[in-house]
A and B are shown apart, each in its own frame.
Chain A
Amino acid sequence: MLIDYLPILLLLVFAIGFAAINLALSHLLGPKKPTPSKLSVYESGVQPVGNARQRFTIRFDLIAMLFIIFDIEVVFLYPWAIVFKKFSESSGYFILIEMLVFIGILFLGYIYAWKKGGLTWD
């Protein structure tokens, strides 16, 4: 089983090597004629105003938070989904109700977040 991962490791090494070679080659082959305006911030040809790294809307953070919560839910669904077919033959409705409770509780939260405007981007 562990040996199944060996090709992935080989590919990972290969991919990192590929990226490194690309970076190195263009560094070596390309000409270097830096000028002050080339090295300055691109702002549609206008003199840059202020620093780019400023505070931005908290919306992005909230989206990330909601994402984590639903992501964990999805992860919990995978083991269930895998055994679903096998158990649907023997213990039928039990596996169904179990999941309906799980999804149902989260669906309540989803509706609540929606009502509170957590999913609305404006």
Chain B
Amino acid sequence: MTDVIYNTTALPHLLTLLIFLPVLGVAMMAFVKEEASIKHLAFWTAAVEFLLSLALYFWFDPGTHKMQFGEIAQWISTPPIRYALGIDGISLWLILLTTLLTPICVVASWTAIKTSVREFMIALLVMETAMVGVFCALDFVLFYIFWEAMLIPMYLLIGVWGGPNRIYAAIKFFLFTLAGSFLLLVAIIVLFFQGGHTFDILALSKGHYSDTMQAWLFWAFFAAFAVKVPMFPLHTWLPDAHVEAPTAGSVILASVLLKMGAYGFLRFSLPMLPDASVRFTPVILTLSVVAILYGAYMALAQSDLKKLIAYSSVSHMGFVTLGIFVFNTQGVEGALLQMLNHGITTGGLFLCVGLIYERTHSRLIADNGGLAKPMPRYAACLVIFALSSLGLPGTNSFVGEFLVLVGSFLVNKVLAAVATLGIILAAVYLLWMVQRIVFGVPSDKTARLRDLNWCEMATLVPLIVLIFWIGVFPNPFLTPMHASVSHVFAQMGRGANTVAPVVGSLTGILPEALP
């Protein structure tokens, strides 16, 4: 395979190490008895994992579209299935996002999880293994195994440690995703026979498939990826799952799992099925815009904080699919950045909800009014996350959404204009939420609440730093994407024609756009 640069770093098997380090942590838990030590062990496993994953960024070569840090080994002889790993500019940030959020989730669960702590941490770490594995896999069967392996720990996270209606939410999440994934499995097998008897993702991306075949495969892929994103009308599991999941579960779900659907579109649907992707673009774009508006509209009506954020996720992920399916660099890079942004911002919002729920045991907006006075630090963080989520210039989401809208404007002005409404609606529901929670009248109960301690701040500060970093200086985040994104277009046979000038001028605009 010439498309893979094998791992040349000082750390041998870096990706394998990253994938299986959490499992190693799980194995070590067998020797630890006390609950506190288990928490520490889980945290340090996740923290070391994050530090190791930083190596990916420093050794990443942004100049090439080839898969980097590659590893390959024969795994199953007939049919040929290989243990093939590698990352490019599309997966790099998603891996770093995963490894960043896992230690944060461990800390966020420190006091929130009171029962079966060991099992909780095991589920969390197994999730991390599967998530990193999904983003690294270069063999379709390997990808599928990691993809499905996420289901059980997530099902348990929601179902065991969730809220009152957790069983319903867990099984709904499970069945929705499973039904989609099984169709993906059939599609993978069909591709194997169509694409020259290989499961090699890079080789399959080079194949050409007939129009009808592409159409079938496209919808099979769609079934798996659209459920995960989730795209309207397959989103109904999301509000239930988010509301019932424990904080860490919500964060993982919103910040990483939802990205996998979009990652799937970008990694598989576009390069492998370019003609079908183009052919069904109108459907996807319409669904995306419907999701943007519908999610925002539903968020307006929610009285439960988590449900509000869940619907805002539907809306924000609509921007991501919109950006991917406009097929230009601004759109796709905006979508990729927006995936990262949504992970950071929504992760932060869910952490905030978790913090307040721990104190008042209510997620209702009405029960949590007037927090600015008793909890100024908390209020400040919540406002920052909310402003970031609504895309205030200077924060991360502005850059992502702006790029997506620029990209879609080049393709379809009406669509872009309608999508922009989503941002306005986002401002409405988020500011209204902030107004009621932060600046409302404190009740007797909320007036005596304790503000965030340093440990709780520690979970939020890294995310806040990233919000402003990406918001003010997004180039370090965009640079590694360029080569990989234009390679996607090259594979689609479209060329990256409308690209460079706008990105160049964008970085020119940004400083002036700051308030």
| A and B assemble together | no
Which B residues lie at the A interface, using CB under 8 A?
A: none
List chain A positions with a Cβ less than 8 A from chain B: none
